[in-house]
Each structure stands twice: as C-alpha cells, then as structure tokens.
C-alpha cells in the first residue's frame, strides 16, 4: 500500500460516523529489511503546521498550548490498530467524545454558536 | 418520472443561480460599449462552465468526494492550501459584490443609501443559512431567480437583428478602445466561469446524496441549466446594446444606469423587474457563496458539514459562514462602490482560474476516484483549454486593470 | 482602477468628453422615464446627482488638461459646465416635483448636448 497516497489526507470518522478531521500526519515505524509499519495517525493544527515547515510547527504548538492547555500541546494521535474500515473515509473504532480532538468545536458550540437563538 | 422532475428542478436551479451581479454588470457594460461584439465571451464562458460543472457533478456522484475533498486528498495539504486561499479570497470579494448588488436593489426600491443595507442583507442571508435547509435554499431562492428571465423577454420584444447577434458570437477585434474591450472580455469570462459555482455544485451533489445513477441527470442539468443561464446573460447584453447604446450611453460605470435598461421596454414595471432581478439574483448568490466558503473550509479540514444539520451540530461550519458574511458586508457598509468591486472581483476570478481548474485534470483522470467514468478526450481538451485561457487571463488582467479598467 | 487610460492631453480630453456625452444621455433617458411616470422620483434625483458629479469631474479634467488647442478646449469645458448645471437643476426640480422646472432643465440639457457635440466635432476635426 502506498501510504502517502492512500492514507494521508483522507477523511477520518469515528464509529458513529462523526467527521473528526483528516489524516493530517502519519506515525510510522521503520523496520530494517521490512516495509514500514503505520503506528498511528495524527490530526490537528500542529501536525498541519509542521507539514508547512519546522518554524510554523513550533509556532502552532506554542499557540495551541497557550489556548488549549497541556492537553493540546501535542498533536492528537489515534492508534492504527483501531482502524475498522478504509473506504471513502477511514473509520476508527473510537468515540470522538472521549478524545480531545473536537474540544475546540465543543467550546465553540457551548460559548458561541449554542448561545445564538435558533441554533437547534 | 421522478428523475424527470429532478432534472427540471435542477435546470431551474442553475438558471436561477447563474445570473448574479457579476454577469449582469459585465454583460450590461459590454452591450453598452460594444453592442453585440462581445457575445462570444459569454458563449465561451458558458461552454467552459458547462464542462466544469459536469465534471464536478460526475466526480461527486462517482467518488462521493466533493472537489475540495478530492484536491486535499489527491495533492496533500501543502498543495491544497493554494487553491484554498485563492478561492477564499476570490469568494470573499464576490460575496461582497453580491451583498452590494442586493443593497443597491434595496436602495433603488427605498431611496435609502446602499451602505445602510449591507449589514441587514448580510444578516438576512445569515438567517437563511442558520435556519434553512439545503433544499429550501437551493430551490426556493432559485425559483424566485427566474424573474431574471425578464431580460430575455425584453431582448426578444426589442426585436434585435438576429443575424448581428449571431455574428457577435464569433470573436472579432475591436475597432476602438482595445484595452477596454479585452478587459471586458476578461470580466465576462470571470463572471461566467466562477469557481464557487462548480465547487458549490459538487457539494450540492453530496448533500443530495447523488450516486452513479445520477450521471445522466448531471449531464442534463449541467448542459441545459448553464446554457439557459448563459442565454439570460446574452439577454442582458442585447438589452444593454439596444437600449443604452442606442441612446448614446456607451459607458456604464454607475449602477444608477442599470435600471434604465428595462424602463424603456416595460415602463414602471421595468424598474420593478430590474430591482427584483438584481435583488433576488444577488441575494441568492450571496447565500451560495456564503455556504461555499463554509463547505470549502469544513471539507478541507475534515469537519462536520452540511446545511441540513443544526448549527449546534456543526459549529465549525456555521462559524465560517457567519464570519464570512459579516466580513463581506464591511466593505459595502463602508461605502465601497459595489459596481467597481464587482468588475474588479470578476477580473480577479478569471485570473485565479488556473489554481482551481488544474486539479480537475488530475482528479477526473484518476481511476481510483472516477473509475470507468474518467474524462474523455473532449473533456480533457476542454480542461486544458480553460487552464491555458486562465493563464493568459492571469497574465493580462493586471495590465488591463490599469489601462482598461474604469 | 482609478488610473486613466489617457497618455496625452488630447487623449484625456477625448476620453472625458465621451464620458460627458454618455452621462448626458443617461440624464436625458432618466428624465424621460420620470416624465412618463416610469421612474420613481427618489431614484431619478439620485441618478441625476450622480451624473452631475460625473459631469463635474469630467469638466474639471478637461479644463486642467494641457491641450495645444486652447480655444476648442475652452468650448468643451463650457459645454460640459452647461450640462452639469442643467443636470443639477433637473435633480432639484425632480426632488420638488416641479414639472415645469424639469421641462426647462430638459431643454437646457438638449441645448448643452448640442453645444457639446459641436465643440467635440470642432476639437476632433481633422486639422489642416
């Protein structure tokens, strides 16, 4: 399997089909004499910023830590052994509510969007 | 039977959605200044958008990806960033122009200056997105948009020399004001080939859960819908030529001049029809561009998106359209002339085309996405032609902006 | 976008006198529409105000251009000035619902348009 082509930047959903994000990065274990093995996928702004370069990566990590605290100072990871299905989306056998990935959306919902009348 | 209904509804949608402030203003300017000579630019732009819309719909129906999803996945984040930023910027300007167009319609109707209407228009648009569903917005606003057909009726009533109209469909060199001529050609192309149109269409196909059985529907909607839309733009151009140019008005750089196109034909109702056409068309386009901004960001970053969900359930998505509408209202509220902004953003749209169209060449030929439904020779030739056209436009737009702009 | 197409003074004068002619026709079309009850008063007076501004700008640009043909240039400036005055008067008359005033302004507008055409043909006539 061509990892960069087939996995990276694909849509990620949890077991309830909730859209979590895209595969922003891959954590790969290099094994001598054998093909590399995916250990986990990474999601979030820090990973994306690292893809642009070292410096944007550092800035984003600092920004995320300041805004979100320690929980957000490192990129979010989902272990590859949780993968359930690879189709149009990649489905992981997790519940996104148990992770910190969508914390910012929850904050937005509770503090901004949810307070506007008619938000449902 | 159901398919037939769907096809006609789709055509109605694209007819209503085609004409917005950009195509209206550029066609009016071109008709006034060069009579029928620039009809070819409308025809060329319409053919290009037919191809792109068909491909966007086919890509979505077969691969279940929107164009934005496809670009991100196929080319990676670092490449995706460029069309993302370019499209966000162009859409911002276009949305601002549409809000301005709706605000002008309200100024014409009430006599209260347009800048006071920018925020109310943006708020109303936001309310539609906040409370409405995709079907409601797509169909409701577009059916009202059929009022723009009054330009076609007007053009027929004026009885143009159809031989001359047909002759205008063949590109010719101008015999005066060459810089202005080419600048207008560029703006017309930009107004017709709007990236928001085909990207919105691909998101719509996903919202409406299209699959392979929709390929025929898609082709009919793209071909007929966009052709009818182009016909309305040609109607505006003919009316401008036969009313404005015939009265010696060859420069349309003041939006107050626009209602004068329909008044000599329909009397007071002409004024009312113009105000309604401008208001509805621009408001509808502002909704579509607002949604498109949110689609683009949400799809690009993999957030939950969908106009049929409650804002609580897709907070990221609804934040993007809320902020976009607010920002886009600001230039108009500050009194920036909407007509100037429109012409400027149409030219910039044309210049941004290579960035948003190059990915089509790869996505629509990638079997992993479209399988056996990949592009044929003609579609690929069309994409390459549009990319080349876009490059030429990008190179010439800036000098023309200086020498040919208003 | 505000850069002029003009390179030489005579280009600039030509451009501006064309703009003035187009603006004058706009004024006369909107006044005809108003007189026949097809255009609301608010819209008509706003349009006339806007056209008046365009004419004033065009007049100022023609006046300030350094043309070798001073007398023809003065003729154009005067004609555009007349247009601007007539349009401004028409705007006020429309606002006040003063029909005789509008008719008077329409006549002035026609006379000024004829004057502009005459000075244009003199200015752009092939010189011996």
pLDDT digits (tens, 9 = 90+) for A86-106: 989 999 999 999 999 998 999
Query: In degrees, to the nearest 5, what angle opens at C-alpha A109 toward C-alphas A108 and A114?
Result: 125
B156: CB partners within 8 A, 6+ apart = none
Residue-wise pLDDT for B256-299, tens only, equals 999 999 999 999 999 999 999 999 999 999 998 999 999 999 99
Cβ distance B168 to B329 under 8 Å?
no
Stretch 20-79 of chain C: residues touching chain B, C-beta under 8 Å? 21-23, 25-26, 28-30, 33, 36-40, 42-43, 46-47, 50-51, 54
**Interchain CB contacts (distance < 8 Å): B and C:** 74
Question: Is A88 an interface residue toward B (CB < 8 Å)?
Answer: yes
Question: Is B194 an interface residue toward A (CB < 8 Å)?
Answer: no
Residue-wise pLDDT for B62-101, tens only, equals 999 999 999 999 999 999 999 999 999 999 999 999 999 9
Distances from the Cα of B366 to the Cα of A61, B62, B63, B361, angstroms: 36, 12, 10, 9
pLDDT value of position B317 = 95
Cβ contacts (< 8 Å) between B257 and chain C: which residues? 26, 47
Q: Is the pTM of this model over 0.80?
A: yes
Average confidence (pLDDT) over B244-260: 94
Cα–Cα distance for residue pair B130/B134, rounded to 1 Å: 11
Paired strand residues for A11: A22, A89
Is the C-alpha dihedral spanning A96, A100, A104, A107 positive or negative?
Answer: positive
Distances from the Cα of B193 to the Cα of A52, B23, C83, angstroms: 31, 10, 40
Least confident of B7-21, B260-274, B329-343, C88-102: B7-21
* Nearest-by-Cβ selection for A118 from B80, B131, B313: B131
Whether A113 has a pLDDT exceeding 50, the answer reads: yes
Sheet containing strand A37-43, edge to edge, reads: A25-29, A37-43, A76-79
Percent of chain B with pLDDT over 90: 73
B391: nearest Cα among B354, B346, B344: B354
Give the pLDDT band of residue B17 (cuts 50, 70, 90).
low
pLDDT value of position B397 = 73
Q: Predicted ipTM?
A: 0.93
Question: Chain B residue with minimal CA distance to C11?
Answer: B177
Cα–Cα distance for residue pair C101/C89, rounded to 1 Å: 8
Strands A25-29 and A37-43: antiparallel
pLDDT value of position A44 = 92
Whether C128 has a pLDDT exceeding 60, the answer reads: no
Least confident of A53-57, B20-24, B59-63: B20-24
pLDDT value of position B406 = 44
Cβ contacts (< 8 Å) between B267 and chain C: which residues? 36-38
Give the pLDDT band of residue C4 (cuts 50, 70, 90).
very low
Which comes out higher in pLDDT, residue B9 or B77?
B77
Paired strand residues for A77: A42
Query: In degrees, to the nearest 5, what angle opens at C-alpha B194 toward C-alphas B188 and B199?
Result: 170
Question: Chain C residue with minimal CA distance to B180?
Answer: C5
C20: nearest Cα among C77, C72, C68: C77
Whether A3 has a pLDDT exceeding 80, the answer reads: no
Length of chain C in terms of residues written: 128
Query: In degrees, to the nearest 5, what angle opens at C-alpha B257 toward C-alphas B252 and B263?
Result: 130
The helix or strand, by DSSP H or E, that contains position B325, with its residue range, turns out to be helix B315-333
Question: Is B315 an interface residue toward A (CB < 8 Å)?
Answer: yes
Percent of chain B with pLDDT over 70: 97
By CB atoms closer than 10 A (0-12, 13-18, 19+), residue B378 is exposed
- DSSP class of residue B207 equals H
The neighbour count for residue B402, using CB atoms within 10 Å, is: 15
Question: Chain B residue with minimal CA distance to A111?
Answer: B315
pLDDT value of position B402 = 64
Considering chain B, what is the average pLDDT of its residues? 91
Whether C57 has a pLDDT exceeding 70, the answer reads: yes
| Encoded tokens for B204 | 């719509």
* Nearest-by-Cβ selection for A109 from B73, B303, B312: B312
pLDDT value of position B1 = 65
Give the pLDDT band of residue C6 (cuts 50, 70, 90).
very low
pLDDT value of position B305 = 92
Q: Which residues of C58-72 are buried (b: 16+ CB within 10 A; e: fewer)?
A: bbebbbebebeeeeb
Chains A and C touch (3+ CB pairs under 8 A): no
Residue-wise pLDDT for B96-126, tens only, equals 999 999 999 999 999 999 999 999 999 999 9
Residue-wise pLDDT for B218-243, tens only, equals 999 999 989 988 999 999 999 999 99
* Nearest-by-Cβ selection for B311 from A18, A43, A120: A120
Percent of chain C with pLDDT over 90: 66
Least confident of B134-148, B200-214, B282-296: B134-148
Cβ distance B263 to B270 under 8 Å?
yes
Residue-wise pLDDT for B295-349, tens only, equals 999 999 999 998 888 999 999 999 999 999 999 999 999 999 999 999 888 888 8
Cα–Cα distance for residue pair B171/B21, rounded to 1 Å: 24
Average confidence (pLDDT) over A55-69: 92
Give the pLDDT band of residue C3 (cuts 50, 70, 90).
very low
Cβ contacts (< 8 Å) between B69 and chain A: which residues? 11
């Amino acid at each position: 399997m061509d990892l960069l082509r087939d996995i990276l930047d694909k849509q990620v959903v949890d077991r309830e089909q909730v859209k979590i994000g895209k595969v922003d990065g891959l954590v790969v274990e290099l094994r001598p004499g054998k093909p590399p093995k995916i250990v986990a996928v990474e999601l979030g702004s820090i990973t994306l910023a690292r893809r642009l370069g070292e410096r944007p990566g550092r800035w984003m990590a600092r920004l995320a830590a300041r805004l979100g605290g320690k929980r957000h100072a490192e990129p979010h990871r989902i272990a590859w052994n949780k993968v359930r299905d690879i189709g149009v989306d990649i489905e992981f056998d997790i519940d996104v509510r148990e992770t910190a990935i969508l914390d910012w959306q929850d904050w937005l919902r509770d503090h901004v969007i949810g307070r506007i009348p008619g938000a449902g | 039977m159901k398919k037939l209904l769907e096809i006609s509804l789709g055509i109605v949608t694209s007819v209503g959605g085609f004409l917005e402030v950009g195509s209206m203003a550029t066609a009016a300017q071109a008709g006034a200044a060069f009579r029928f000579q620039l009809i070819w630019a409308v025809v060329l732009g319409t053919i290009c958008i037919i191809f792109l819309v068909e491909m966007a719909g086919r890509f979505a129906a077969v691969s279940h990806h929107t164009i934005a999803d496809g670009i991100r996945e196929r080319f990676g984040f670092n490449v995706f960033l460029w069309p993302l930023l370019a499209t966000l910027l162009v859409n911002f300007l276009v949305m601002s122009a549409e809000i301005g167009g709706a605000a002008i319609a309200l100024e014409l109707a009430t006599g209260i200056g347009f800048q006071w209407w920018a925020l109310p228009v943006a708020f109303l648009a936001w309310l539609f997105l906040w409370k409405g569903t995709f079907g409601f917005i797509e169909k409701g606003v577009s059916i009202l948009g059929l009022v723009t057909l009054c330009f076609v009726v007007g053009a027929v009533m004026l009885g143009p020399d159809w031989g001359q109209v047909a002759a205008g469909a063949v590109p010719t060199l101008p015999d005066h004001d060459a810089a202005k001529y080419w600048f207008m050609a560029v703006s017309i192309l930009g107004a017709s080939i709007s990236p928001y149109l085909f990207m919105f269409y691909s998101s719509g196909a996903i919202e409406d859960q299209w699959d392979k059985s929709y390929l025929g529907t898609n082709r009919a909607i793209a071909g007929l819908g966009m052709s009818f839309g182009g016909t309305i733009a040609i109607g505006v151009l003919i009316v401008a030529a036969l009313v404005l140019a015939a009265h010696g008005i060859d420069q349309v750089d003041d939006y107050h001049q626009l209602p004068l196109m329909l008044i000599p034909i329909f009397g007071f109702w002409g004024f009312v029809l113009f105000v309604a056409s401008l208001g509805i068309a621009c408001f509808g386009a502002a909704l579509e561009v607002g949604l498109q901004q949110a689609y683009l960001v949400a799809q690009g970053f993999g957030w939950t998106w969908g106009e049929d969900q409650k804002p609580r359930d897709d907070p990221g998505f609804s934040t993007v359209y809320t902020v976009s509408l607010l920002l886009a209202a600001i230039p108009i509220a500050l009194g920036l002339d909407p007509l100037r902004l429109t012409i400027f953003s149409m030219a910039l749209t044309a210049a941004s085309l290579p960035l948003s169209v190059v990915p089509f060449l790869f996505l629509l030929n990638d079997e992993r996405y479209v399988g056996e439904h990949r592009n044929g020779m003609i579609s690929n030739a069309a994409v390459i032609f549009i990319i080349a056209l876009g490059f030429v436009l990008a190179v010439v737009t800036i000098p023309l902006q200086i020498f040919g702009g208003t | 976008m505000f850069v002029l197409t003009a390179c030489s003074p005579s280009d600039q004068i030509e451009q501006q006198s064309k703009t003035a002619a187009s603006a004058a026709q706009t004024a006369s079309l909107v006044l005809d529409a108003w007189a026949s009850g097809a255009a609301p008063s608010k819209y008509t007076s706003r349009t006339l105000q806007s056209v008046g501004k365009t004419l004033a700008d065009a007049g100022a640009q023609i006046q300030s251009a350094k043309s070798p043909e001073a007398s023809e240039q003065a003729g154009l400036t005067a004609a555009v000035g007349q247009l601007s005055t007539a349009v401004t008067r028409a705007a006020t008359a429309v606002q006040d619902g003063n029909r005789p005033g509008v008719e008077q302004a329409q006549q002035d507008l026609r006379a000024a348009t004829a004057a502009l055409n005459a000075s244009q043909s003199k200015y752009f006539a092939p010189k011996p």
